[in-house]
Amino acid sequence: MNATQVIDALREFNLGTVMENEPLSRHTSFRIGGPATVYVQPSCEADLIQLLNWVYGNQIPYFILGQGTNLLVSDHGLDAVVISTSRALRDVRVEGLRMTAGTGVLLTKLAHKAHQASLKGLEFAVSIPGTLGGALVMNAGAHGSEMVQVVDHIKIWEPGTGLRILNAAEAGFAYRQSRFMEHHWIAIEASMILKSGNSEEILSTMQHFMNYRKNTQPVGHANAGSVFKNPQPEFAGRLIDGIGAKGWRVGDAIISPVHANFIVNGGRARACDVLALMRRIRCRVFQRYLILLQPELRWIGPGEGGGEGTWENLWYGEGAGLKEPCE
């Protein structure tokens, strides 16, 4: 089935907005990324599930996109059906200490909803851009807290199986990772258990976290959040700052002078510019500290030469077999 046939079929199904060759730079916080062959924005959960079953049943490549944070999308774009959850999965319910939300909901909105209900446990999320879905995949965290500490269970869609429920243990949460990265699970909804708290104290904590982010991160500049994972117990930002990297630039991709573990888009940055900076950082940090930084960003799409877009190939080239980051 070619792209025209896919688009015609999706428009006939009337499952939501359908666009052809839509630039993904319009849908990522980095403002970087080539076109999606097909971009679909389902209008509700039922439409989303119908769409997922259809693309899977017809063996059509697909990718789920939330707010587009924490992503570096290839300049070549993505030859697939890109499915946005921003309309379909945005319901939020509070029942006692339990908050249940669609995975298209912004984390900042969840934090404010919890505050309004005098529930504590999600204050850390107010400073994390992106959706609940992305936070589950990455086990997002900040200020010493992570999603694993509040998640009770997750409703997922699994290819060939359909909808089912995972408990938090089955999700396999670890530092900036989960079993969502190993499987083709799509998170639809998550239930979180919070604690009763004082509304004023919760708000004060949230304001402190928001002010901290404003003062220590390049807020207002297009970026995708932390570029590298912290090689615990070290901090990637400190290591990158230690090699004097703040202000390094390739094209319009710039290492932030505010926080060294952030790369900002100065206007017309390309994915290849960001990748060149990441390679340079990785090489210099390894040379100085013998620590091999691992990306926190997810690479989406083919590699620079059109081959498979894995980080290993992006670092060293397909079939290169290189072991050191500066070879």
pLDDT bucket at 310, cuts 50 / 70 / 90? confident
DSSP H or E stretch at residue 191: strand 186-193
**Tokens at 61, concatenated:** 């490549």
Mean pLDDT score, 199-206? 97
Q: For position 163, which CATH number holds?
A: 3.30.465.10
Instruction: Determine the pLDDT at residue 327.
Output: 55
Instruction: Determine the pLDDT at residue 320.
Output: 41
pTM of the model: 0.90
Same domain flag for 203 and 101: yes
The answer, yes or no, to whether residue 170 has pLDDT greater than 70, is: yes
Q: Average pLDDT, whole number, for the chain? A: 93
- Cβ atoms within 10 Å of 212's Cβ, excluding its own: 13
**Which residues form the catalytic set?**
176, 226, 296
Mean pLDDT score, 97-114? 97
Rounded CA-CA distance 280/114 in Å is 41
Range of the domain at 311: 236-316
pLDDT bucket at 323, cuts 50 / 70 / 90? low
DSSP lists the bridge partners of residue 94 as 99
pLDDT bucket at 2, cuts 50 / 70 / 90? confident
- Whether residue 229 lies inside any domain: the answer is no
- The closest of 242, 244, 245, 269 to 255, measured between CA atoms, is 245
The answer, yes or no, to whether residue 39 has pLDDT greater than 50, is: yes
Same domain flag for 175 and 242: no
DSSP H or E stretch at residue 49: helix 45-57
Same domain flag for 39 and 141: no
Domain endpoint, select from 33, 64, 84 = 84
Dump pLDDT digits (tens) for 259-306.
Answer: 999 999 999 999 999 999 999 999 999 999 999 999 999 999 987 666
Rounded to the nearest 10°, the torsion over CA 35, 315, 279, 25 is: 10
Task: Tell me if the bond preceding 233 is cis, omega within 30° of 0.
Answer: yes
Q: For position 241, which CATH number holds?
A: 3.90.78.10
The answer, yes or no, to whether residue 106 has pLDDT greater than 50, is: yes
Rounded CA-CA distance 33/302 in Å is 11
- Whether residue 321 lies inside any domain: the answer is no
pLDDT bucket at 165, cuts 50 / 70 / 90? very high
- Whether residue 267 lies inside any domain: the answer is yes
